[in-house]
């Protein structure tokens, strides 16, 4: 698999010509091409929901299905060997991207939701008993709430929830107060998809380790925006999703410490995850294949590997730096609009916060705003963002969210703010 890489010369040219990361990368995305004026463009401000895909990823998918389409691990012929080689190369890329110690620690899944469910259904069912406690937070996505609720019903374990501060950050004092000798797992988001706050994971893990507690990290909103190293963070499990990483839908991954994964039983039974099958019993395959029953999303995993290489070629530090500037600019512009309330910490104070702004407008419904903006070619999110408990905490049933990426520009933000102001005025006049 030949991976695309930006050269040092291109970065030097960008800096010498006073260009930015969007100028360098937008040409790679078909969605942003063949548009002459800002009014005719589709302004995509929903990157937190799913990322756009660069041509390098699209070509990787096309190449697999056109020339290397075969099942992996099962055939001796050349097509199967080539497919297996590229599939396992994607696993190596994923392991390297998060600083995993071994490719055995990378389990390919359908998405991050499945990754969390694997831990709940295998580690949870196997290790937890009535009275054991799991700590979650008020800001969690439903994917990091529902599996634990189901586990609680099966095992009798107790779920406890950490609150948030007035500024929309995790309440570390509440976390410390709820930790005890019964706490077996802390499962939390790295960057909130609604509040945008970046939880101080290294500090949190230092706090909980003395209780013998494991940590699962939902890194869906952080992996594409800043460097994430599982060993530096001192966590035990991590869930990631390709479609938020400029990769294809339908594939994600679970990372877990090898010693934990080896003790966990398989999630699904069938082909690929076995070593030997008899009529009465079966023996499981070694890691990581023990958790990968059936034919996997081969082309999609290869595409995810290409996407991770693409992000690395840009440089996660470069991505974070550019998005940080854009987020500060977005907040500045939103705060200039009368009646707008933004949730979560200010980007001037939380330098690692997500490149998104979730907001509410007094007297105006978020869905109406999103619909009017869409008529102007501007795509934002409206609704509860799969965080209903958090919205109830704020007394809301919906909010609006604009989320950025390294392809976003100041000009797009200006146009968004202009049309947002116009939409608010229209709705208020006609309410």
Q: Which residues are catalytic?
A: 386
Distant-in-sequence, close-in-space partners of 2: CB < 8 Å, separation ≥ 6: none
Angle, CA 119 vertex, CA 114 and CA 124 arms, to 5°: 135
Q: How crowded is the C-beta side of 235, counted as CA atoms within 13 Å?
A: 29
The answer to whether the CB of 365 falls within 8 A of the CB of 372 is no
- The partner residues of 191 in beta bridges, in order of sequence, read 198
Structure tokens given for 250: 């339908």
Looking up tokens 């419904």, which residue turns up? 365
Alpha carbons 115 and 140: distance in angstroms, whole number: 15
| Environment class of 284 (CB within 10 Å of its CB; exposed 0-12, middle 13-18, buried 19+) | middle
**Residue 364 DSSP symbol:** B
**Residue 188 C-alpha from the chain's centroid:** 12
- 124, 135, 331, 375, 383 from 169: Cα distances, Å: 28, 16, 17, 34, 21
Radius of gyration of the chain (CA): 22
Neighbours of 232 (CB within 10 A): 12
Alpha carbons 204 and 209: distance in angstroms, whole number: 9
The answer to whether the CB of 13 falls within 8 A of the CB of 390 is no
CA-based nearest residue to 413, from 338, 331, 320: 331
Structure tokens given for 332: 């500045």
């Amino acid at each position: 698999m030949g991976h695309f890489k930006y050269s040092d010369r291109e970065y030097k040219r960008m800096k010498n010509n006073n260009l930015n990361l969007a100028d360098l990368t937008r040409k790679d995305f078909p969605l942003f091409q063949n548009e002459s004026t800002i009014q005719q463009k589709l302004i995509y401000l929903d990157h937190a929901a799913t990322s756009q895909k660069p041509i390098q990823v699209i070509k990787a998918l096309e190449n697999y299905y056109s020339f290397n389409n075969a099942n992996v691990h099962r055939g001796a012929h050349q097509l199967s060997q080539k497919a297996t080689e590229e599939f396992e190369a994607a696993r190596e890329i994923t392991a390297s991207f998060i600083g995993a110690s071994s490719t055995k620690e990378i389990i390919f899944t359908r998405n991050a939701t499945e990754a969390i469910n694997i831990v709940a259904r295998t580690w949870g069912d196997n290790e937890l008993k009535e009275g054991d406690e799991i700590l979650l937070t008020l800001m969690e996505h439903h994917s990091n709430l529902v599996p634990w609720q189901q586990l609680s019903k099966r095992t009798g374990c107790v779920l406890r929830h950490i609150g948030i501060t007035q500024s929309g950050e995790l309440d570390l004092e509440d976390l410390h107060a709820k930790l005890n000798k019964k706490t077996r797992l802390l499962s939390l988001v790295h960057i909130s998809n609604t509040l945008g706050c970046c939880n101080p994971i290294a500090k949190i893990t230092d706090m909980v380790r003395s209780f013998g507690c494991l940590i699962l990290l939902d890194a869906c909103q952080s992996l594409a925006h800043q460097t994430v190293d599982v060993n530096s963070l001192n966590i035990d499990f991590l869930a990631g999703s390709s479609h938020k990483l400029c990769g294809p839908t339908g594939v994600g991954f679970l990372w877990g410490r090898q010693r934990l994964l080896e003790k966990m039983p398989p999630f699904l039974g069938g082909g690929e995850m076995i070593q030997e099958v008899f009529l009465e019993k079966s023996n499981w395959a070694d890691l990581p294949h023990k958790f990968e029953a059936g034919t996997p999303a081969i082309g999609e995993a290869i595409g995810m590997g290409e996407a991770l290489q693409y992000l690395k070629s840009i440089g996660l530090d470069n991505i974070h730096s550019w998005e940080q500037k854009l987020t500060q600019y977005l907040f500045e512009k939103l705060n200039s609009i009368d009646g707008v309330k933004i949730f979560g910490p200010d980007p001037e104070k939380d330098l690692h916060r997500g490149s998104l702004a979730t907001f509410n407008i007094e007297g105006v419904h978020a869905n109406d705003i999103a619909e009017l903006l869409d008529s102007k070619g501007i795509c934002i999110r409206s609704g509860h963002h799969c965080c209903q408990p958090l919205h109830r905490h704020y007394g809301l049933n919906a909010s609006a969210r604009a989320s950025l990426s390294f392809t976003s520009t100041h000009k797009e933000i200006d146009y968004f703010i202009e049309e947002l102001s116009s939409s608010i005025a229209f709705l208020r006049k006609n309410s």
